[in-house]
A and B are shown apart, each in its own frame.
Chain A
Amino acid sequence: MGIILLLLQLLKPKSEAMKIFIKFDFNAVCRKVLEDKLIKHHIKHRILGFGEVEILEKIDTANFAEFANELKEYGIDIIENQKTILVQKIKDTIIEMIHNPELVNVKSSVYLAEKLSHSYGYLSNLFSDVTYTSIENYIILQKIEHAKQLIVSSDLSLTEIAFQLNYSSVAHLSTQFKNVTGITPSAFQRIITKRREIANKK
């Protein structure tokens, strides 16, 4: 807006040069920009108040990234997303730890804090806020998921899987498996095998 006014001034004969004064309503400006961008990207939304928007349906990640980028040009940043990014980093680090035999013995709280340069307390609270679960539970869930994957896709015995995932014994793995899923590893294997048999018959 400022630039256009300046151009008009330059085009005009010098004698007619003038100065105008502008008053801004920052809230209105931000709201308008936000609304226009939301509409432009076809994002169904509800503006809840200053600095808070509710997205009413799932949106395409690429579209969202573009939307976020365009807002950036106006100095508008999506704050929650910063948290989401950190949570994603926590998840990625956990998965890296579980899948890497060299890291499986490392204490996760120490490793996470070091790798992500935040205190474990901060990471832990943030994680619970965003994901509805704790880091500890998430690690267990991921370990069990990994165990499932190995059960259905490898020739490893349960004992070997327990060893690979750093469980003290196969009983420990079985107990945790049952606690998390409600079924035993062998029932799990049976169900998946039967499902595959049925699928192959079709």
Chain B
Amino acid sequence: MEKEYIHIILADDDEDDRLFFTDAFEELKINTKVNTFNDGVELMDYLNHDDAILPNVLFLDLNMPKKNGIECLHEIKQNEKFNDIAIAIFSTSSSEEHIEETFVSGANIYIKKPSDFATLKKVLSDVVTINWQYHTSGLNKDNFLLRL
């Protein structure tokens, strides 16, 4: 019962990154179901659908065509239906100012995109494990901020 699936969504326009991402999750011990989308428009179309299965964690790439990660983040934060989703931002930038701004806008997790597969796996495992603790231990999600 406690080992129910953790639903994960990634929106990223880079095909290689999406592949790395799904591969990394397949190698983790934690039971996850991963869905990917190619850009922000596709993602929001899916989420806004009435019977969409909402993810436990949503990973957003910052630079996407049509609708970027920050635009998605703002849209998601405006809709109460999405309150339970933990939002992780994937970015290549590590400017302190930018990171803080993203957190202020409502992101829970900020990840500097790792350059190698082993680090990516470790990072994703950390995210999912900590999110799991928030999910199962009734921790205050408003205080959920994590930078990796």
Contacts and interface: CB of A to CB of B under 8 A. Distances in A.
Interface of A: 55, 58, 64, 78, 80-81, 84, 87, 91, 130-133, 138, 141-142, 145, 148-149, 152, 181-183, 187-188, 190-192, 194-195, 198
B18 to A, nearest CB: 24
Contacts of B143: 145, 148-149, 152, 188, 192
Interface string B126-148: 00111011001101101101111
B130 A141 contact: yes
Given A145-B140, A191-B104, A195-B106, A58 B148 contact: no
Contacts of A181: 145-147
Interface in B57-87: none
B1 interface: yes
Given A149-B143, A181-B146, A195-B104, A84 B2 contact: yes
B114 to A, nearest CB: 14
Contact of A198 (B1, B3, B104, B129): B104
20 contacts: A55-B1, A58-B4, A64-B1, A84-B1, A87-B2, A131-B132, A131-B133, A132-B128, A133-B133, A142-B137, A145-B139, A149-B140, A149-B143, A181-B146, A182-B110, A183-B103, A183-B145, A188-B143, A190-B100, A191-B104
A132 B145 CA distance: 20
A92 to B, nearest CB: 10
B59 to A, nearest CB: 16
B147 A183 contact: yes
B36 to A, nearest CB: 21
Contacts of A142: 137
A182 B148 contact: yes
B147 A132 contact: no
Contacts of A190: 100
A141 B133 contact: yes
B86 to A, nearest CB: 14
B137 A91 contact: yes
A132 B134 CA distance: 12
B2 A130 contact: yes
Nearest to A87: B2
A131 B136 contact: yes
Contacts of B147: 181-183
A132 to B, nearest CB: 5
B90 to A, nearest CB: 14
A172 to B, nearest CB: 20
A161 to B, nearest CB: 14
A194 to B, nearest CB: 5
B124 interface: no
B126 to A, nearest CB: 10
Nearest to A187: B100
A133 B4 CA distance: 16
